[in-house]
Structure 1
Amino acid sequence: MSKKITLACTSCSSRNYSTNKNVSIQSTRLEVQKYCKVCGKHTLHRETK
């Protein structure tokens, strides 16, 4: 069972990316290093509600 989630930048809080997550495998919040267009560099992006 997959769920659509949104990833937000930890530096500027802009919501840049959306992806799917398998809820049955991973129950914790997703954290990924992604490129932020607003900051202009790679930052940590976390799953939002």
Structure 2
Amino acid sequence: MAKSKEIRITVNLECINCAENIEKRSRGISRYTTRKNRRNTATRLELKKFCRYCGVHTIHKEIKK
């Protein structure tokens, strides 16, 4: 079966502070799921979201599945 050529795809966002921050509120890595339009946003997505492990709003970057 061939890969789907959908315009809207589902992407995962991961907190960039969680991997390097040792003194967090609790252990874990914050991840969000969202959808993006492949035609309008060809580059990797970066959004400022709330990280429940760091306890603040941080930048979340798109990761590979």
- Would the TM-score normalized by the shorter structure come out above 0.5? yes
Report the equivalent of 1:25.
40
After TM superposition, the runs of 4+ consecutive aligned structure 1 residues lying more than 4 A away are none
Aligned CA RMSD, in angstroms, stands at: 1.0
Report the Cα distance in structure 2 between the residues aligned to 1:35 and 1:46, rounded to whole angstroms: 13
Any unmatched runs of 5+ in structure 1?
none
- Cα distance in 1, alignment partners of residues 47 and 39 from structure 2: 19
**Unaligned residue ranges in structure 2 (runs of 5+):** 1-6, 20-28
Aligned partners of 2:61, 2:54: CA distance in 1, in Å? 15
Structure 1 residues 2 and 24, CA gap change in structure 2 (3 angstroms): same
- Structure with bigger gyration radius: 2
Identity value in percent: 41
Q: Which residue in the other structure is 2:10 paired with?
A: 4
Q: Aligned residue pairs: how many? A: 49
Task: Tell me the TM-score normalized by structure 1.
Answer: 0.91
Q: Which has the higher strand share?
A: 1
